[in-house]
Chains A and B, each alone.
Chain A
Amino acid sequence: MSVRRAALAVVGLALAFLVLAPLTSIDAAQQAGLPLLTDKLWFRIATTVAMFVVMASAWNIIGGLTGYASFGNVAFFGLGAYTAGVVVSNLRLPFALALVLAPIVAAAFALIVGIPLLRLRGHYFAVATLGVGVAVGEVVNNIEPLGAATGLFLPIVRSDLFFFYLMLGAAILAVLTTWVILRTRFGYGLLAIRENEEAAAVIGVNTTFYKVAAFCIAAALTGIAGAIFAQWNSFINQDNAFAISDNVQMILMAVIGGTGTVLGPVAGAISLELIIQSLAGGGSGSVFSQIGLGVLLAVCVIFIPRGVIDFFGGRSRLSLRYFRQTLRETSA
């Protein structure tokens, strides 16, 4: 059944990976004359894109499927990063252990803050989680063993390919997790909560458990991304591990791509990150890129509130009728 189909998909992806992996090694790419993967900058961008696929997909689980717009997911990213920092730098233990511990720490934190915070709804939840995101960063910034304001340095590991594949693996894990959730009873429960929480409760959905579980899953995935980022970047501090702008960015990606879908956040992360990278530049360029992003978000939310996946997907087409219909259906 659906489990078998999920297993088939995993096997298929693994096979595709095995087939494509040699092609993406630098030597092979050079021989084949593919400039894309030999360029360090492109590796960096590709890894960043994968990182945001993880974060946007994870955000989608709590924000898109469950309907709780979290502005505090970056705290899970930061906690994952600092877990890796402590494991690798302070305790001098292998990075693999950090990869295991980071999601556990992030999920445990989500459990602790989720139980009280997930009683709030709408704007209240958004503001409360925003507070948590900022607060955790500030606290970490003042703890001496964590490097305080200086930040934490990790031993440098030079392998663009390694981090790219690691992040890609995390991205695939995040997408598969969403895919599996949407095909289980758990996923239906989350959707019911998003659609109408009281109605969900009185038909037998254990709303508190479902919400907290979704929050923890999102936290674990985001924590993994944080841990990989820490080792990849080999330096973490409050600014790069607890950046609220990252949180805003993951929300934008999920919303523009299409919340509540499996591939929406992926499409959003890829397209938005590429746009950001191409708009990025020194001086006035970055100002225009910020303005451009704001305009883009406004246009997307108003005209394609279901995201680009829905827009380019099967049942819709580029027409005024589509815009009018989505406007009508989503403004109710």
Chain B
Amino acid sequence: MSLLAISDVSKRFGGVNALAGVTFAVEQGDVLGIIGPNGAGKTTLLNCISGLYRPDAGDIRWETASIRGLAPYRIARLGIGRTFQIVRPFPSMTVRENTVMGALFGRPGARLQPGAALKEADTVLDVVGLGEKRNYPVLRLTVPDRKRLEVARALAMRPRLLLLDEVMAGLNQVEIEQALEMVRRVRDSGVTIVLIEHVMKVIVGVCSRALVLNFGRTLVEGPPSEVLKDPRVIEAYLGQRYARDQQPPPYPPPEAGEGND
């Protein structure tokens, strides 16, 4: 039994098929990387899993039960945490207050007392490397720190599955190394991870499997290094002509630009 099973999920916005029958499964302990050109449907997929969108067709199963169409807060309390590509902190709160929210509301099972929630928040802030900035107002944080905060808030929910939407975009090389280290720590603590990323170094560096989305469909799925060499993937990113002209294919394919929602 898979932890999360997506079967034939479709989502349409007007005339655009953002997702056109995506199928894959996430096993306990996986770090699954989802890549794909801009507009491939990656963020839409995360929104369907976390309940912000209701898929038009297909099913999403969490262990044994279908979670398709459940309210986001129910999905969150099942143990699915997520971050947003365009960060969504609670702007008038401090770093610590933001993180406490995850512990207060997102925990499956018994509610935490405020004291315990604060302790949990502090633990998580140390994991993501924001421990020293816990009393900063969010507005004082840099972009990389705001991305860390997104992760901290999700981690404070003690999720079993963590969905990371481009937490490394816009980071420099040093920051990417730090973020990679953070993802590994999270993985080693027993959290299954699905991450969307354009930074290929991340896909190769931390993912156990990679999945390529293109035009709302699964293009290729498999071990990261093989997936990145696949001619179909290079074609999807760089176009047919480039794929034909370049023999052997360049590795890794150059990064695509910033994704957008």
A188's partner among B92, B104, B139 (CB-CB below 8 A) is: B104
What CA separation (Å) do A207 and B72 show in the bound complex? 9
Q: Does B154 interact with chain A (Cβ within 8 Å)? A: yes
**A203 is contacted by which of B71, B81, B92 (Cβ under 8 Å)?**
B81
Q: Which residues of B contact A61 (CB under 8 A)?
A: none
Neighbour of A195 across the interface among B72, B82, B90, B105, CB < 8 A: B90
Which residues B68-114 have CB closer than 8 A to chain A?
71-73, 75-77, 81-82, 84, 88-93, 100-102, 104-107, 111
Chain A residues lying within 8 Å of B92, measured Cβ to Cβ, are 191, 195
- B20, chain A: closest CB distance, angstroms: 24
The reply to whether the CB of A31 lies closer than 8 angstroms to some CB of chain B is: no
Nearest-Cβ distance from residue B250 to partner chain A, whole angstroms: 37
Q: Tell me, yes or no, whether A284 is within 8 Å of chain B by CB.
A: no
Bound: A267/B91 CA distance, A: 25
Query: With A195-B92, A332-B91 given, is the CB distance from A201 to B104 under 8 Å?
Result: no
Chain A residues with Cβ below 8 Å from B52 are: 198, 201-202
Residues of B with C-beta under 8 A to A200: 90, 101, 105
B153 interface residue (CB < 8 Å to A): yes
Instruction: Using CB atoms, name the residue of chain A closest to B46.
Output: A202
Q: A201-B73, A201-B76, A205-B73 are in contact. Are A192 and B90 (CB under 8 A)?
A: yes
A204 and B88 contact, CB distance less than 8 A:
no
Cβ contact within 8 Å between A185 and B73: no
**B106 is contacted by which of A185, A188, A204, A329 (Cβ under 8 Å)?**
A204
A203 engages B153 (CB within 8 Å): yes
CA distance A185 to B103 in the complex (A): 11
**B10 lies within 8 A of chain A by Cβ:** no
B interface residue count range (under 10 / 10 to 19 / 20 to 34 / 35 or more)? 20 to 34
Residues of A near B139 (CB, < 8 A) are 329, 332
**Chain B CB within 8 A of A142 CB:** no
Point out the residues of chain A lying under 8 angstroms from B157, CB to CB: 203-204
Chain B residues in 8 Å Cβ range of A192: 90, 101, 105
Question: Would A185 and B72 count as touching, CB distance under 8 A?
Answer: no
In the bound complex, residues from chain A placing their C-beta under 8 Å from that of B72 are 198, 201-202, 207
CB pair A195–B91 under 8 Å, yes or no, is yes
| A278 located at the interface, meaning its Cβ lies under 8 Å from any Cβ of chain B in the complex | no
Do the beta carbons of A188 and B73 come within 8 Å of each other? no
**Contact between chains at B105 and A196 (CB < 8 Å):** no
- Chain A residue, CB-CB nearest to B76: A204
Complex contacts, B51 vs chain A, CB 8 Å: 201-202
Q: Interface 1/0s, chain A 162-204, versus B by CB < 8 A? A: 0000000000000000000000010011011001101111111
- CB nearest to B108 among chain A residues: A204
Q: How far is the CA of A147 from the CA of B34 in the complex (A)?
A: 66
Chain B residues closer than 8 Å to A188, beta-carbon distance:
100-101, 104-105
B50 at the interface (CB under 8 A from A): yes
A208: Cβ under 8 A from any B Cβ = yes
> CB distance A195 to B73 under 8 Å?
no
Closest to B139 in A: A329
A201 to B73 CA separation, bound complex (whole angstroms)? 5
Which residues of chain A have C-beta atoms less than 8 A from B76's C-beta? 201-204
A201–B101 Cα distance when bound, in Å, is 11
Are B153's CB and A185's CB within 8 A?
Answer: no
> How far apart are the CA atoms of A192 and B73 in the complex, in Å?
13
Q: Is A206 part of the contact surface with B, judged by Cβ < 8 Å? A: yes
Question: In this complex, what residue of A is CB-closest to B90?
Answer: A195
A188 to B112, CA, bound (A): 13
Smallest beta-carbon distance A118→chain B, Å: 14
Give bound CA distance, A204 to B112, whole Å.
13
Interfacial chain A residues near B50, Cβ < 8 Å: 202
CA distance A126 to B132 in the complex (A): 41
Q: How far is the CA of A15 from the CA of B76 in the complex (A)?
A: 45
B84 contact set on A, CB distance < 8 A:
198-199
Known contacts A199-B84, A205-B73, A207-B73: A189-B90 contact under CB 8 Å: no
* Chain B minimum-CB-distance residue to A306: B92
Q: If A188-B101, A204-B107, A205-B105 touch, does A196 touch B71 (CB 8 Å cutoff)?
A: no
The reply to whether B154 and A203 form a contact with Cβ atoms under 8 Å apart is: yes
A199 B77 Cβ-Cβ under 8 A? no
Q: Give complex CA distance A206, B153 in Å.
A: 17
A183 closest partner in B (C-beta):
B114
Q: How far is the CB of B260 from chain A (nearest CB, A)?
A: 16
Closest beta carbon of chain B to A182's beta carbon, Å: 13
CB closest chain-A residue, reference B150? A199
Report yes or no: A196 in contact with B104, Cβ–Cβ below 8 A: no
User: Judging by beta carbons under 8 Å apart, are B91 and A203 in contact?
Assistant: no
Contact digits for A317-332, partner B, Cβ 8 Å, 1 yes 0 no: 0000000000001001
Picked from B82, B91, B104, B111, the residue with its CB within 8 Å of the CB of A202 is: B82
Task: A202 to B85: give the CA distance in the assembly, Å.
Answer: 14
Whole-angstrom CA separation of A196 from B149 in the bound complex: 14
On whether A204 and B105 interact (CB within 8 A), knowing A185-B111, A199-B84, the answer reads yes
A-B contact pairs, 15 of them (CB 8 A): A188-B100, A188-B105, A191-B93, A196-B90, A199-B84, A199-B89, A200-B101, A201-B73, A202-B52, A203-B101, A203-B102, A203-B154, A204-B107, A205-B73, A207-B72
A interface residues (Cβ-Cβ under 8 A, vs B): 185, 188-189, 191-192, 195-196, 198-208, 329, 332
